[in-house]
Amino acid sequence: MASLLKIAVFGAAGRMGQAVVDAVTAAPDMVVVAGVDYASSDQDIPWFTDTSDAIEMANPDVSIDFTVADAAARNALIAIESGVSPVIGTTGMSDAQVVAIRAASETSNVGAFVAPNFAIGAVLMMEMARLAAPHLDHVELIELHHDQKIDAPSGTAARTAELIVQARAGRPAIDAPTEKFTLEGVRGGAHDGVRVHSVRLPGFVAHQEVIFGALGQTLTIRHDSTSRESFMPGVLLAARRVREQERLVIGLEHLLFDQDIEE
């Protein structure tokens, strides 16, 4: 019988962390060996407050991180140095932090994984936007999240904009001119030339619309996560596959569609 995949959950007392603990516990092929957070929840797992202590004492194969950007970047480097493959769902890391994780992963030949969104439907939404982008010149994104989300735009919106820009191969999207503004910032921000609007309200979990416009028509692609459980199949898929990698992989699409890994 194959041994269980040993998982450490960073940010285990948070809402996403608790959902990860429940999902891993329910999976037949893996086990939570450490929950790392400043405070524990009522879940029956070994608890730690220090990342290095958790890795040294619990000896996990994979870490799953839903913390905050700076902590996630530090945790990933500590994990990789110890031969542990990090799966990172935390958004908002800087380019420099991602570059450092990539360098550590390549140097150590330890697989690492980052995804802006682990919901499989959201990944399909981004893929559909990428397919539409070369054919429709006007596009704007609206992302809607709960009021506790600390970064904007969301990692999903940023990644979607990047995919749209890449798919257009140097042809910028057409940004409708606005001659008069009576409220500053009302047209949202621009990410790689694509307009992005962020909504933060209680009652939302994670939602995004990609709206393309053309002469006499619009195309709207929307995804809604109505519970945090929607992210768990993707999280578990990444945990199962990250040890196969020898460097950093960004985006669940590489695992779902077996795309070439360019990152």
Note the pLDDT tens digit of each residue in 16-39.
999 999 999 999 999 999 999 987
Nearest to 52 by CA among 81, 30, 31, 73: 81
Q: 62-65 and 47-48 as β-strands: parallel, antiparallel, unpaired? A: unpaired
Cα dihedral 40, 46, 47, 51 sign: negative
Q: Could you confirm whether 149 is annotated as catalytic?
A: yes
pTM of the model: 0.83
What is the percent of the chain with per-residue pLDDT over 90, rounded to a whole number? Answer: 82
Instruction: Assign 5 a pLDDT band (cuts: 50, 70, 90).
Output: very high
What domains are defined for the chain? 5-114+228-256 (3.40.50.720), 120-225 (3.30.360.10)
Q: Report the chain's mean pLDDT, rounded to a whole number.
A: 93
**Which pLDDT tens digit goes with each residue over 98-146?**
999 999 999 999 999 999 899 999 999 999 999 999 999 999 999 999 9
pLDDT of residue 261: 45
53: Cα within 13 Å, side-chain hemisphere: 8
Residue 6 annotated as catalytic:
no
pLDDT band at 46 (very low <50, low <70, confident <90, very high): very high
Strand partners, 206: 145, 225
Instruction: Spell out the residues 6+ positions from residue 196 whose beta carbon is closer than 8 angstroms to its own.
Output: 140, 141, 142, 143, 153, 157, 158, 161, 188, 189, 190
Confidence of residue 263 (pLDDT cuts 50, 70, 90): very low
In the set 6, 145, 197, 207, the catalytic residue is: 145
Which residues, other chains included, contact 88 with Cβ-Cβ below 8 Å and sequence gap of 6+? 65, 72, 76, 101, 112, 113, 114, 115
Choice among 6, 138, 146, 149 that is catalytic: 149
